[in-house]
Amino acid sequence: MSTSFLSDRVLGIEPSPSIAANALVAELRAQGRDIVNFTVGEPDFDTPPHILAAANAAMHSGDTHYTATTGTLALRQAICQKLERDNGLTYGLDEVVAGCGGKHIIYHALAATLNPGDEVIVHTPYWVSYPDIARLNDATPVIIPGDESNGFKLSPQALEQAITPRSKWVILNTPNNPSGAVYTDTELLALAAVLRRHAHVLIMADEIYEQFVYADARHVSLARIAPDLKARTLIVNGASKGYAMTGWRLGFGAGPAWLIAAIGKLLSQTTTCPSSISQAAAVAAFAGDQAPIADMREVYQMRRDRMLQLLASISELRFTPPDGAFYVFANVSALMGKTTENGETLQTDSALVAHLLKEYGLATVSGAAYGMSPYIRLSFASSLDVIEEGCHRLEQACQRLR
């Protein structure tokens, strides 16, 4: 069908690169290819049993109907409980909203606030969907280049320079996907000092990976450390990562009541409400036994350490050890300009990703997808066997380049 029927906003974006990469893995495996998948952006654990039990109970008790648009009372209470317990933040029931995943909340928050000409400040490396969601809502993403030398963290100087009278949002993702960067109290306070000078800028704090921080790192919410900014901060979080519930599609936002009401108005016209079953499961996740999170974090720490150990033996790679999430964002600049066994000269990280997949059955995601090249993202949300095999293939590939 002709693209003449499609809107400019749809034609102006690309499909999510990380989702496309994972879909390609599934397609190649269906063809019989042996693929080691380092693209995965989700836990490989099963949803904990007590959460499954809550969903099962909801189904069998007839809890299978529409709910309030912003979420059931029980779920919003559980979200408020989680925010107070884990983040030291107090929110009212009218200050939280549930959606079909964190991405769903981000989209509706931007749709509720952006007008043509508005700007959304995004720092690289960024989660792949931030700029395109801004574009879909007629705004201009303002991209601040990241810097590996400071651990890929947004500096207050760079933030100050990026803010204009048209700035509507700044998006802060900690722990960060793809870099694993976790901001310290001092770093957040420095950013807060800048934001205090610009009262017209809203703050989106994407904290979806908050449960997974390692070694001495700890997650702290900007709204906790700078309470005066809470009134213009939207926390985005959900059940997907911390509770191994990506397929349940349950996220939430916590912010000022006026913004939550506006998001709710849009949701009433788009999805009506999240799945009632997923909401019941999320009540058990947020308000129930938290021990499974600690168990998963311990496993991820072990996998992270093993991947870093293996990558350290590949001299062509450079990386900053991630303090959070479950990815390594590896610098592959030393491989650019090298030639493959087939005579192809690798000029971009995207070309390297294609070469690794075609010749070595190793699926990764290019740094270009995250706004920063030449890098590749490697996920350690896989078993140790998969991590070891994938790193072995990566080492082989690097050794054979000339």
Question: Helical H runs in 146-215?
Answer: 156-162, 185-196
Query: Token pair for residue 168?
Result: 């509507």
- How far apart are alpha carbons 311 and 180 in whole angstroms? 16
pLDDT for position 1? 52
Number of domains composing the chain: 2
Distance from chain centroid for Cα 110: 16
At 202-225, the pLDDT tens digits run 999 999 999 999 999 999 999 999
pLDDT-wise least confident of 29-33, 50-54, 120-124, 190-194: 29-33
For 140-179, the pLDDT digits (tens) are 999 999 999 999 999 999 999 999 999 999 999 999 999 9
Last residue of a domain, one of 289, 321, 345: 289
Q: Which structural domain range is residue 9 located in?
A: 3-46+292-400
289, 311, 331 — which closes off a domain?
289
319, 282: one domain: no
Instruction: With a cut of 90, say whether residue 287 has pLDDT above it.
Output: yes
**With 80 as the cut, is the pLDDT of residue 18 above it?**
no
**323 pLDDT above the threshold of 90:** yes
What does the block give as tokens for 16?
């999510």
**Are both 281 and 213 inside the same structural domain?**
yes
Same domain? 220 vs 302:
no
Q: Mean pLDDT, to the nearest integer, of 342-358?
A: 95
Provide φ and ψ at 237, rounded to 5°.
-155, -170
Q: What is the pLDDT of residues 365-382, one digit of tens each?
A: 999 999 999 999 999 999
> Over 80: is that where the pLDDT of 77 sits?
yes
